[in-house]
A and B are shown apart, each in its own frame.
Chain A
């Protein structure tokens, strides 16, 4: 049975620690742009932890919400792309083919979640920082769009391994970098086609909802609401 990769984000577990953010950067060769470019709005974070304040002192409250590509089944970023650089895979992933991207940035405008990031300049790694680069993930050149891939390199590796071992993957063996690092286990990744997988069970939770679901983007990420005592 084909896989359908998805994620559950438990906002009641998420503490805003941002381990996921750095884990993603490390896994996916996301360059740092430096202070000047960061100030110019060019910082790239495939996953970000949104924080929103409510109320005023002393009743101020703050909530965290990790936002990454929602891997929409009806992804607005796909039809607008003139070169198929942003397209849908058989497994329902929203894939990004860097070689094909010519940098119209249309997809980034169309994405309601603003999770697509553009390479305004060629990325720089002050030597020897480049020695850390993950050989399983290609480095993006100037003028191309990039975004969360659900760590597709890990997915592919796992599927190749499974075929080689001639045994199906076990739920939980395959983790995205962000989910693997998340110390509170707020991020749970897995196969939505397996009704018994942890992610499927969590996605059925009554606390669950989809971010901007009413736009009809059909995200494959379910957010479990934060509960409160008071």
Chain B
């Protein structure tokens, strides 16, 4: 076993920290032929795409010449090559507008991560032990091909399953075509913090199965129901840009904003008003606001159109949603509801948004529909300062299926695997998702995967899911491969981000789309794709786009500027809210943005549903609120040291996980800052330090998602706790999306601080002493 593998494998078992830090590897004497295109000391900026979240920000990479230790066909040596030095937002890109979020800044560490998988690996030890041996690409691909041919011969094409993240774009098109041609069921996409509920609601209300885009720059009064739009939700960078303008970008006008959430998020910290409404009652509050507008005749009831008609009792004026009734349910004072409702029309344009926890309730869809109706009532849909839907690019090389694609949730698939013997899934391919870490223990994902005879994964790192695989075909880092993305939201013009590789591959990795195409062509019964490589596919896709100018075509232009986007509107802006971004009349099918199929143009009105919570209030007195960590999102970024050492915006914690608890509650339970707590749900329990925060309701315990990895590089392994493990499997019935905010817990103090909570800041108040007086 050669040294690199040894390092990596021990890294998996988490013992290599010392090994890896013990100085330089042996000095390589061989110098490979250097790249010629670089001038010493001169930086070159190349476009690329931030792969870390759904926003799809366009980036530019600073590339400079440097010496890298590499292995080329078995020979270790040094190569003078282009190296990535810094990421910035692509100024030309309509979404990032030259800016980036902190995660985007850290994305560069993915390329140079010490625990990256450097070459194909084949499992040697028992599953999950993380013992692998390197194999050649030919051998690796041959093995996968053999497995697939096996399915064909046994005429069990449906025995192939593909598990992927929530991405969109040509790469995902390629995957679905691969499965389609092979005769396998469509890919199962898993993403803990997915947007299924919101997309469904928008489909029902506005006929757009798509994330909304907000023109904050021109908004007057924003009410956000749990949407962490300045942190991780939807299109954070674009929303930041709009937010800055909303606050101080207009002479004499300062947009106001109210955040409705039981635990103050970083977004909520910026609100003028923080409204800790009871979890699961956000929809009711939204209708309460609508009721005020209707009853005071501030807006005509029919303004809401179909979005309103979807709400039961809308046309009757939402009787039963009087401020008094709503106060009873939400805990928000009637007077406050009145005031907020009036502000929505008195400080135009008023707009509401909903995301995060409210949609992760069993009544999430209702809440989303209620907010959609409120926006429609306010008449801000597609208007400046309001909510709109980014035009989607029709261009696609995927022949549309006649039948609507069957939607399969991971939960359904694991259930099926566990139910039948032998497993209905014989071969599983996993790409850029880690469900073993990010799904509730109730789904028994790990157990199910262990039942699958053959698993191959494409990830760059060994994580809780890929460690179970028999074969690992490591992908390039995003900077080393062709990247393409079709963002759903964040701009007013259609955007297709595109970039060629910015760097030569550092390791012996291969771009996953290319690997799929190679596999397809080597099968006994090849799936004859029209393209040999992914970039050929991209070229074909971009060929269908209108050329930006006479002297160039979309394909060439896109590679230069980092993507193709529609022309700016009359006002010369690609920002949201322009006339380009009207919501479409109900029912009309849109293209790649997701289709209306499965939607219900003539949907029956939905009734208000009470949120259901797992666990008896008596035994489990607290709502448990996991939230997407700003650093790690769903945990997929916990391996980046820059993000581990980034002080959390609200708590200043580094390298830690913790549970936030209201100080009064804490003193009742005899809990002090840093004390070790045991948090127990019906699903299990975990132990983590307590962090006292005035910004959380007394009946809520909040915990960031992201830490608690068992196997995920030297930086994340064995660090902190994973709240997902104790979540109940409750789901939003309509979409089957996990209701990750619907669990109740109890809390007990286990002991004094154990040093696991590492805070950067010394004090939480600017005048600690004066605060003691307040008390």
Contacts and interface: CB of A to CB of B under 8 A. Distances in A.
A and B touch in the complex (CB under 8 A): yes
Interface of A: 10, 12-13, 15-19, 21-23, 25-27, 32-35, 38-39, 43, 45, 48-58, 60-64, 124, 126-135, 177, 180-186, 224, 227-230
Nearest to A35: B655
Contact of B758 (A18, A35, A45, A53): A35
Contact of B102 (A19, A54, A127): A19
A17 B248 contact: no
Contacts of B506: 128, 131
A183 B99 contact: yes
B21 interface: yes
Contact of A57 (B103, B645, B696): B696
B571 interface: no
B719 A17 contact: no
A224 to B, nearest CB: 8
Contacts of B99: 19, 181-183, 185
Closest 10 CB pairs of A and B: A183-B240, A229-B272, A184-B244, A60-B694, A35-B655, A183-B99, A22-B105, A62-B269, A126-B114, A52-B766
Given A12-B248, A19-B102, A51-B652, A181 B113 contact: no
A24 to B, nearest CB: 9
A132 B113 CA distance: 10
A53 B68 CA distance: 46
Interface in B1-58: 20-21, 24-25, 41
Contacts of B112: 128-132
Contacts of B68: 128, 131
Interface in B595-631: 630
B98 A16 contact: no
A53 B765 contact: yes
Given A26-B86, A27-B86, A127-B69, A19 B698 contact: no
A19 B655 contact: no
13 contacts: A10-B247, A15-B230, A17-B101, A26-B105, A50-B761, A51-B764, A53-B764, A53-B765, A60-B264, A64-B269, A132-B109, A181-B100, A183-B101
Contacts of B25: 127
Nearest to B650: A51
B644 interface: yes
Contacts of B272: 228-230
Interface string B210-246: 0000000000000000000011000011001101100
A21 B631 CA distance: 12
A129 B113 contact: yes
A70 B655 CA distance: 28
B273 interface: yes
Interface in B76-106: 83-89, 98-106
Given A62-B269, A183-B237, A18 B102 contact: yes
Contacts of B719: 35
B102 A22 contact: yes
B12 to A, nearest CB: 15
A129 B83 contact: no
A26 B764 CA distance: 27
B579 interface: no
Given A22-B105, A48-B760, A52-B766, A124 B21 contact: yes
B128 interface: no
A54 B771 CA distance: 8
B240 A38 contact: no
Given A23-B102, A56-B774, A128-B506, 17 more contacts: A10-B247, A32-B645, A43-B654, A53-B693, A60-B274, A61-B274, A62-B650, A63-B269, A127-B24, A128-B69, A133-B85, A181-B99, A183-B89, A183-B101, A183-B240, A186-B244, A229-B272
B660 to A, nearest CB: 12
A16 to B, nearest CB: 4
Nearest to A205: B248
Given A126-B20, A128-B68, A128-B114, A19 B100 contact: yes
Contact of B630 (A10, A18, A32): A18
Interface residues of B, number: 86
A16 B649 contact: yes
A62 B230 contact: no
A17 B102 contact: yes
A17 B109 contact: no
B100 A55 contact: no
B509 to A, nearest CB: 14
Contacts of A227: 247, 254
B285 interface: no
Contacts of B270: 15-16, 64
Nearest to B770: A54
- Residue of A10, A58, A177 ringed by the most chain B CB atoms within 10 A: A58
Contacts of B664: 57
- Residue of B264, B506, B698 ringed by the most chain A CB atoms within 10 A: B264
B474 interface: no
A32 to B, nearest CB: 4
Contacts of B696: 57
Nearest to A228: B272
Contacts of B397: none
B150 to A, nearest CB: 38
Contacts of A19: 99-102, 104-105
A15 B21 CA distance: 36
A71 B642 CA distance: 25
Given A56-B663, A57-B694, A183-B99, A48 B244 contact: no
A181 B269 contact: no
B641 A32 contact: yes
Nearest to A157: B43
A131 B66 contact: yes
Contacts of B572: none
B477 to A, nearest CB: 12
B236 A183 contact: yes
A49 B230 CA distance: 15
A39 B254 contact: no
Given A13-B244, A16-B649, A126-B714, A39 B88 contact: no
Given A13-B247, A131-B112, A230-B273, A39 B663 contact: no
B145 interface: no
Given A22-B646, A38-B758, A127-B69, A184 B241 contact: yes
B64 interface: yes
Nearest to B65: A135
- Residue of B113, B231, B641, B643 ringed by the most chain A CB atoms within 10 A: B641
A57 B698 contact: yes
